[in-house]
Amino acid sequence: MVEPNISGLSVGEQCALLSISLSSFYYEPKGESEMSLDLMRVIDKQFLETLFYGVRQMTWYLRNDQHLVNEKRIRRLMRLMGLMPIHCPQGIA
């Protein structure tokens, strides 16, 4: 879309023509930290064993496993991984 080496049109002018900000053209995402990736591995392993663990139970499990985490972080990571707990229907259990 935006070509930095076009003569006659600067990068700023090209971004203005496309209605995008100059900062979004130069933005490079950071990705996940190594600590978050390690937590995601632990969450994935535990989730395969206990498909019914939601955010609260997973947070409790990780805290008992000596990880310093809070529910917001676990919720974000589980959402990023696409993990949803399986709930038992009413009256079955």
pLDDT confidence band for 50 (50 / 70 / 90) = very high
The reported pLDDT for the residue numbered 92 is: 57
Instruction: Give the residue with greater pLDDT, 42 vs 7.
Output: 42
Please give the Cα distance from 61 to 45 (Å, whole number). 12
Q: For the chain, give every domain's residue range.
A: 1-30, 34-81
Three-state secondary structure of the chain: CCCCCCCCCCHHHHHHHHCCCHHHHHCCCCCCCHHHHHHHHHHHHHHHHCCCCCHHHHHHHHHHCCCCCCHHHHHHHHHHHCCCCCCCCCCCC
**80 CB-contact burial (10 Å; exposed 0-12 / middle 13-18 / buried 19+):** exposed
